[in-house]
Amino acid sequence: MGHLLRRLMLVGAMICSALPLWAEQSSMSFDVRVLGARVGIFSIAATETGGGYAARSRFTTVGLVGAIKKMEADVTVQGRVAGSRMQPVNYNEAIDDGTRVTDVVVKFAPGLPRLVSGDVGSKSPPATGQKLARAIDPLTGVYILLRDQEPADVTCQFSADIYDGHRLARIALTRGELHSNGKTCHGTYRRLSGYSNSESRKRAVPLAIDYVSYGGVFRADQVRVETRYGAAVAKRR
């Protein structure tokens, strides 16, 4: 389904650890469809304090796709909050793609991000060096984009390097368009380093996020991504 769709599917889940009652908590759930067919559900839940955040996600296949090949993912991250910037510290993704089970642990601080343990499922040379200095993990990146935001904060000007322990990519939103009940941000998911030749053939993947006005905030309602299989859509439930 393409690397970006895989990343989106990995990033989703109900938080199941105990969270402080005084922390700001949020949760969301999306149906994922490819070419109109419902293939899975992902949800995200997170908690933010004055100086830190934690999130956990899960994706599972449903319907005919789930009957043919079941895929599950459980993803967690803990990190710090400095001003408006979220900086991951510990990231873990446990994936069962129906063929292989992996358990990847990535340490983002102190120092440069680095793979601690696990099988990232790639034989290509990994992304390394100072290019990783400002990278964040996939879950943090998607949570930043999909959490509720003040309308003035949805500028459609966003860029973040995403590192999963092996591959480095960049999510960038570059333009927006207003509509009657919100705003749509357009951008790309660009593969930078750590990909095989076949994965890198199409380096920039178009994406769009629809935000709608909801209770005084802008809420991510739908994410659209072009994949080699066709349009993939994650629609808020």
Q: List pLDDT tens digits, range 86-111.
A: 999 999 999 887 777 788 999 999 99
Instruction: Give yes or no for a contact between 205 and 225, defined as CB atoms under 8 angstroms apart.
Output: yes
State both tokens at 105. 């642990």
- pLDDT band (50, 70, 90) for residue 67: low
For the segment 167-225, what is each residue's pLDDT rounded down to a tens digit? 999 999 999 999 999 999 999 999 999 988 777 666 789 999 999 999 999 999 999 99
Residue 139 pLDDT exceeds 50 = yes
Instruction: Give yes or no for a contact between 124 and 61, defined as CB atoms under 8 angstroms apart.
Output: no
Counting residues of the chain whose pLDDT is more than 90, the rounded percentage is 63
Q: Which residue type sits at 193?
A: S
State both tokens at 153. 């904060």
- pLDDT band (50, 70, 90) for residue 123: confident
Counting residues of the chain whose pLDDT is more than 70, the rounded percentage is 86
The DSSP secondary structure of 163-210, one letter per residue, reads: E-SS-EEEEEEEEEEEETTEEEEEEEEEEEES--TTTTSS-EEEEEEE
**Gap between the Cα atoms of 227 and 233, Å rounded:** 10
More confident residue, 231 or 28: 28
**Gap between the Cα atoms of 227 and 224, Å rounded:** 10
Backbone angles phi, psi at 203, to 5 degrees: -75, -35
For the segment 28-38, what is each residue's pLDDT rounded down to a tens digit? 999 999 888 89
Q: Report helix, strand and coil shares of the chain as percent, to nearest 5.
A: 15, 55, 35
- pLDDT band (50, 70, 90) for residue 68: low
Structural domain count, the chain: 1
Instruction: Give the burial class of 111: count Cβ atoms within 10 A of its Cβ; 0-12 exposed, 13-18 middle, 19 or more buried.
Output: exposed
Range of the domain at 186: 3-236
Instruction: Give yes or no for a contact between 91 and 137, defined as CB atoms under 8 angstroms apart.
Output: yes
Across the chain, mean pLDDT equals 86
